[in-house]
Amino acid sequence: MSKHDSWVYLIPNSPFQDILETFSEGFPVRDPFPMVLQQTQEGSVVPCWTFDLLRMSSPQVVLLASAFARAKKMEFEAAIADFRSNGANLSCHWVDRLECGPEGRARTAEIREFFAAHPDPSPEKLLTFYRRQKQKWVEGNAQPEAELFVGQLGRLQWMPRTQQVNRL
């Protein structure tokens, strides 16, 4: 199916406030694992959302890179190079909510079931799982089950609470 369908919406007054109107449908994030843990320069670990740059138009990527460059006080070219090598990650502190469509929910349910069955998987087992998901959802033509559709847009909303964010 490869209909990646997860988006994040930012809180008011984020460093990306100036470009929000360009992302009226939200910022596309990577499916099915949109969150990563990123180490700061101070050594702490912060949960971050990973933007799906492939689902953005070229002007959106340029605007996002410009906003990152301003926020991190770096040159635009350095921000683009950083996107190419590390992807574009955003601290969870700037995210108001996540919306997932049917594929995002189906893929998330699969990873939840995998970790329930394998609480401490070996790297090989985890890699095999990731490959199967890629074959099924990206290379294959998998379709989410009908009960995963919610509402008019088929999106499910998740709004973090303090306890949820602290557990990440």
Q: Are 53 and 61 in contact (CB under 8 A)?
A: yes
User: Could you tell me which residue, 4 or 159, shows the higher pLDDT?
Assistant: 4
User: Could you tell me which residue, 146 or 39, shows the higher pLDDT?
Assistant: 39
| Gap between the Cα atoms of 33 and 87, Å rounded | 14
| Gap between the Cα atoms of 2 and 143, Å rounded | 9
| DSSP-assigned letter for residue 88 | -
**Mean pLDDT to the nearest integer, 115-125:** 83
Q: At what angle do helices 102-117 and 123-133 cross, to 10 degrees?
A: 160
User: Which of 58-67, 71-80, 102-111, 152-161 has the least mean pLDDT?
Assistant: 152-161
| pLDDT tens, position by position, 19-44 | 988 888 889 987 666 667 777 778 77
**Mean pLDDT to the nearest integer, 144-163:** 50
Task: Report the percentage of the chain scoring pLDDT > 90.
Answer: 11
Q: Are 159 and 97 in contact (CB under 8 A)?
A: yes
**Mean pLDDT to the nearest integer, 83-91:** 83
Under the banding of pLDDT at 50, 70 and 90, the label for residue 148 is very low
pTM: 0.65
User: Could you tell me which residue, 102 or 23, shows the higher pLDDT?
Assistant: 23
